[in-house]
Structure 1
Amino acid sequence: MDAQPKATVPTLYEWAGGMDNFEAWTDLFYKRVRNDTILEPVFRGMSPDHSRHVAHFVAEVFRGPTTYSSNEGSHYEMIHKHLGKHLTETQRRRWIELILDTADVVGLPDDPEFRSALVGYLEWGSRLAVINSKEETVSEPTDAPMPKWGWGETGGPYIP
Structure 2
Amino acid sequence: MTQQTSIPTLFDWAGGMPVFENLTRLFYQKVLQDPLLEPVFKHMSPDHQVHVAHFIAEVLGGPEWYSTSEGSHFKMIQKHLAKHLTEQHRQRWVSLLLETADEIKLPDDPEFRSAFVAYIEWGTRIAVINSNSNDLQMNPDEPMPKWGWGVPGGPYLG
Shorter-chain TM-score: which interval?
A: over 0.9
Residue from 68, 71, 74 that aligns with 2:69: 71
Structure 1: gaps (5+ residues): 155-160
The CA distance in 2 between the partners of 1:133 and 1:152, in whole Å, is 27
Aligned residues: 152
Q: Which residue is 1:23 aligned to? A: 21
**Is residue 94 of structure 1 aligned with residue 101 of structure 2?**
no
Match of 1:40 in 2: 38
Paired residue for 2:113? 115
1:131 to 129, 132, 136: 129
- The whole-number CA distance in structure 2 between the counterparts of 1:114 and 1:79 is 25
Whether 1:151 and 2:149 are equivalent positions in the alignment is yes
Residue in 1 that maps onto 2:47: 49
For 1:126 and 1:5, locate their aligned partners in 2 and report how far apart those are by CA, in whole Å: 39
**TM-score, length basis structure 2:** 0.94
TM-score, normalization by structure 1: 0.93
Identity across the alignment (%): 59
Report the counterpart of residue 157 of structure 1 in structure 2. none
Runs of 4+ in 1 over 3 A off after TM superposition: none
Aligned-partner SS, 2:50: helix
RMSD: 1.1
